[in-house]
Amino acid sequence: MQKFRGFIAIDIKPFPKLLEFEREIKNTGANVKLVEPENIHLTIKFLGDTDESLIDRIEEIMNYSVKEVEPFEINLKGAGVFPNERYIKVIWIGIENGESISKIVSKLDEKITTLGFQKEKRKFSAHLTIARVKNVKNKEKLIQIIEKYRNIEFGKIKINSIKLKKSTLTPKGPIYTTLKEINF
């Protein structure tokens, strides 16, 4: 049986303020791996190794999870790091007005377990991953940029679909392919 590395996400089209933030991060000289602008997304459920035979059933669960959802707007605001500034692994942009996303995630997480996927242990935290930090080179410059953007309004984005994505890992970075898209 064929498997793929899967996840369910909301694609985010790159926009000027986000690209400016990525440029400034890159210019710190820190050892980071920026998310390619065309790959920026909000992961709502990471599936991992997934049997291709489950694609139609995953699609049904995705449909169920957005059944009562109308298109909505989120506000991208602020920047930060996971897990903390002493040990930076991920640089992110925050999301306000994410209640509809949380409802989708909750329904999705509840139903997807029927296919053998694990229920999330951590509470969902809506964010856009912008970069992964490889090591602490130029950490102070990096923290200065994150501080600069800590309360910045990046912009509003209309959300009207979720997607089942396939991630193919390559030496140049992941290649994402949309397998299913559910509009609402």
Peptide linkage before 14 cis (omega within 30 of 0): no
Q: Which of 127, 163, 165, 166 is catalytic?
A: 127
49 secondary structure, DSSP code: E
Q: Is residue 127 annotated as part of the catalytic site, yes or no?
A: yes
From the candidates 8, 18, 41, 65, which is the catalytic residue?
41
Region of 137 please: left (phi>0), alpha (psi -120 to 50) or beta: beta
- For helices 55-65 and 99-112, angle between their N-to-C axes, nearest 10 degrees: 140
- Three-class secondary structure of residue 37 per DSSP: helix
178 is a catalytic site residue: no
Active site residues: 41, 127
